[in-house]
Amino acid sequence: MKKIQVAPSMLSADFANLAKDIELVNQYADIIHLDIMDGVFVPNISYGTPVIQAVTNRATIPVEAHLMIVEPQKFFREYRDFGISSISVHYEACVHLDRVVNQIKELGMKAGVAITPHTSAYNIEHIVTVADYILVMSVNPGYSGQKYIPYTTQKIAQVKSIIEKNNPNCLIEVDGGVGLSNINEIAQAGADVVVAGNAVFGAENPADVIRKLQVTL
Ligand code: DX5
Ligand code: ZN
């Protein structure tokens, strides 16, 4: 039996009252998801070092960083020192992805490889043998509150079969447009962890949504 882990994305949190939302996530969720954007790899800028550190200082559950930036390796050591336990980098942003993934692991963190919607699942066939998780983006990275792209479900299943063949320890994380209406198909397709921004922080009862997303299979 497996239970889906839920990683609320702080991009949808109330930045004027961040402490309150961190406490909520600490209490009910499994992982804190930080979306780091540089306005170069993606058309948006999210937040930088002071905000990241403010979150890690208050977090009592693991914090993961999703780096939607070019040259992500510049920040690995700093984020590790803040207490971040997992970092995902984009397949599309790293020319020497194998080297970058190994740099994360050498610093003692878990390494994830994120793929945008247009990237074929088959591109992860080799990197999956060194990665700890594959982050399948189900929206085009850059913004929270977007609609789930339906063909992602088939891609999750393809990633799952590649993982089973090449490195069964590698997990699948799904990020973008995840909510109560599609959690079952995402879980069935092979997700282990789901990221949810708008579905959690836009809800009247975020704790209840987190609980409902933590489906058991
Ligand atoms: C998009 C980010 C996601 C996003 C999730 O670029 O990587 O983590 O904020 O937000 P929702 O769940 O609202 O799509
Ligand atoms: Zn993300």
Q: Whose CA is nearest to atom 9 of ligand 1?
A: 144
pLDDT category of residue 211 using cuts at 50, 70 and 90: very high
Atom of ligand 1 nearest to the CA of 198: 13
The mean per-residue pLDDT over the stretch 56-74 comes to 98
- Residue 189: its pLDDT value, please? 98
> Does 175 qualify as catalytic in the annotation?
yes
- Residue 111: its pLDDT value, please? 99
Pocket residue to mutate for ligand 1, from 47, 139, 178, most atoms within 8 A of Cβ:
139
Tens of pLDDT, residue by residue over 76-111, are: 999 999 999 999 999 999 999 999 999 999 999 999
Token pair recorded at residue 100: 């970058």
Domain ranges of the chain: 2-216
- Residue 206: its pLDDT value, please? 98
- Residue 76: its pLDDT value, please? 98
> Does 35 qualify as catalytic in the annotation?
yes
What DSSP assignment string belongs to 75-132?
GHHHHHHHT--EEEEEGGG-TTHHHHHHHHHHTT-EEEEEE-TTS-GGGGTTGGGT-S
pLDDT category of residue 167 using cuts at 50, 70 and 90: very high
Q: The tokens 């499994």 sit on which residue?
A: 30
Residue 63 Cβ inside 6 Å of ligand 1? The answer reads: no
> Is 2-216 assigned to CATH 3.20.20.70?
yes
Angstrom distance (rounded) from CA 17 to CA 208? 20
Tens of pLDDT, residue by residue over 111-141, are: 999 999 999 999 999 999 999 999 999 999 9
Residue 176 Cβ inside 6 Å of ligand 1? The answer reads: yes
Q: Output the CA 172–ligand 2 centroid distance in Å.
A: 13
Residue 37 Cβ inside 6 Å of ligand 1? The answer reads: no
Q: The tokens 């889906």 sit on which residue?
A: 4
pLDDT category of residue 202 using cuts at 50, 70 and 90: very high
Q: The tokens 């692991």 sit on which residue?
A: 105
- Residue 88: its pLDDT value, please? 99
